Amino acid sequence: MNIIERAQAPTPNFFKTLRTLGLILVAVSGSVLTAPIALPAAIISIAGYIAVAGTVLSAVSQVTVDDNAKLSKPVLENAKL
């Protein structure tokens, strides 16, 4: 199973929740990083680390596959690459 098939396969509910949490972390840290006011360097640094953690959490959660889910048709059966 390649990465495209994994990304399009069904994801377990637990990892859907983690993916959403990761996206929320990225959104919050992005708003802190682009704030129009001067913030201390420590807060900017922490927001950068949170952005990286949220991105990794979302990416890993997206490619987690639920092996028990039944697909109605094979992934990429009629896709033109």
1 has a pLDDT exceeding 80 = no
Coil, helix or strand for 72?
A: coil
State how far the Cα of 15 lies from the Cα of 23, in Å rounded to an integer: 12
Count of CA atoms in the C-beta half-sphere (13 A) of 5: 10
pTM greater than the 0.85 cutoff: no
Digit-coded pLDDT (tens) for 23-73: 999 999 999 999 999 999 999 999 999 999 999 999 999 888 887 775 555
User: 19 falls in which pLDDT band (50, 70, 90)?
Assistant: very high
User: 8 falls in which pLDDT band (50, 70, 90)?
Assistant: confident
State how far the Cα of 47 lies from the Cα of 30, in Å rounded to an integer: 7
